[in-house]
Amino acid sequence: MSQFSAYINYLSLEKKYSPHTVIAYTKDLEVFSEFCLKTYDSSLIHDCGYSQIRSWIVFLLEEGVGNRTVNRKMASLKSYYKFLLKTEQIKVSPLLKHKALKVAKKVQIPFSVKEMENVLGELYFEDTFEGVRDRLMIELFYATGIRKAELIGLRVSDVDLNNNTVKVLGKRNKERIVPMVASLNRCMRDYLSKRSEVMITADCGNLFLTKSGAKVYNSLVYRVINSYFSKASSKLKKSPHVLRHTFATHLLNEGADLNAVKELLGHTSLAATQVYVHNSMAKLKETYQNSHPRNIKT
């Protein structure tokens, strides 16, 4: 049995982390365990002190691993040691006084309004199941700001066309209700009509399907977004996550309340939402320059 079995169950069952997060955390622990075995002849990382952890950090940096990735691995270790403290397997975390490595701030550049109009207003979507589905994916990302995993997890029963809402199951199984704009409602109706013609895999109640009737998957969703936006944008990154940023930035640019955007995005803290304020700062400055009484020329 793995030394991490109880911890994995804790993350999955008690903390309700997504399978993707659990796998990532476990992988980091296993890699550190292998390093300890090769370097210190012991793979039991609960016996490690900070000197061993620091030597792993040095090793990673010398291997060309970036500061951001190292910090992520330290976060995995820190989470594990917190679990060991909670279960009274250790008395002090070896990472108690560890400070994260400095990283350059990552600025996510959203799509412009013009780029969104180019995709949704000018690009041709075939009137087939896949064409209508692809358009709905883009409309849904842009109109609601949901995450890729949330879109993949949507079920037909989550959609309420009469009340113009979508029920979204977010991180840690937290549900939120997101409103639908009229254009999204129309796309949803078109897609559901096409979906009813697909031979669906048994008991698959998921909203988004492949043409063979199975649940869509990560790489397919990414490929759809990248494909269409490659025709309308020169930005290097074209992904569902950029659409999430675009949703938040465009709302804030039009004067939406930060707390309202926080609720729509499914963030647990306002700090997570404030990153989008940086994207809308240019618009804010323009509004300030044009509106402040001391700056208006007579």
| pLDDT value of residue 69 | 94
Whether residues 131 and 54 fall in one domain: no
| pLDDT value of residue 194 | 95
CA 185/CA 196 separation, integer angstroms: 17
Residue 91 lies in a domain: no
Whether residues 70 and 123 fall in one domain: no
CA 182/CA 245 separation, integer angstroms: 21
Residue 198 structural domain = 113-287
Residue 104 lies in a domain: no
User: Nearest-5° angle of CA 194, CA 199, CA 201?
Assistant: 120
| pLDDT value of residue 297 | 53
Residue 100 lies in a domain: no
Residue 103 lies in a domain: no
Whether residues 34 and 167 fall in one domain: no
Whether residues 277 and 166 fall in one domain: yes
Residue 105 lies in a domain: no
Question: Structural domain tally of the chain?
Answer: 2
CA 146/CA 174 separation, integer angstroms: 13
DSSP 207: S
Whether residues 145 and 254 fall in one domain: yes
User: Nearest-5° angle of CA 133, CA 18, CA 157?
Assistant: 40
Backbone phi, then psi, for 15, in 5-degree steps?
Answer: -80, -20
Whether residues 26 and 142 fall in one domain: no
CA 158/CA 154 separation, integer angstroms: 7
Of 39, 70, 86, the residue at which a domain comes to its end is 86
Whether residues 149 and 190 fall in one domain: yes
- pTM of structure: 0.68
Whether residues 80 and 120 fall in one domain: no
Of 43, 67, 86, the residue at which a domain comes to its end is 86
CA 81/CA 206 separation, integer angstroms: 37
Q: Which amino acid is at 100?
A: A
CA 194/CA 85 separation, integer angstroms: 53
| pLDDT value of residue 179 | 94
Q: What are the distances in angstroms from CA 95 to CA 48, 151, 173, 292?
A: 10, 36, 29, 49
Whether residues 156 and 42 fall in one domain: no
Whether residues 234 and 174 fall in one domain: yes
Residue 228 lies in a domain: yes
Alpha helix positions (H), the chain: 5-9, 19-40, 50-62, 67-86, 113-117, 129-144, 148-153, 182-195, 218-230, 240-253, 258-265, 270-273, 275-279, 281-291
Whether residues 178 and 278 fall in one domain: yes
For the chain, the residue count is: 298
Whether residues 156 and 48 fall in one domain: no
Residue 245 lies in a domain: yes
| pLDDT value of residue 298 | 47
Please compute, for residue 43, the number of CA atoms within 13 A of its CA located in the half-sphere on the CB side. 10
- Specify the CATH number for the domain of residue 168: 1.10.443.10
As annotated, the active-site residues are 147, 171, 241, 244, 267, 276
| pLDDT value of residue 284 | 55
Going residue by residue through the chain (298 aa), what tens digit of pLDDT does each one get?
Answer: 578 899 999 999 998 888 889 999 999 999 999 999 999 988 889 889 999 999 999 999 999 999 999 999 999 999 999 999 999 999 999 999 999 998 876 667 899 999 999 999 989 999 999 999 999 999 999 999 999 999 999 999 999 999 999 999 998 888 999 999 999 999 999 999 999 988 877 678 999 999 989 999 999 999 999 999 999 998 888 999 999 999 999 998 888 888 899 999 998 888 778 777 665 555 555 655 666 565 655 4
Residue 22 lies in a domain: yes
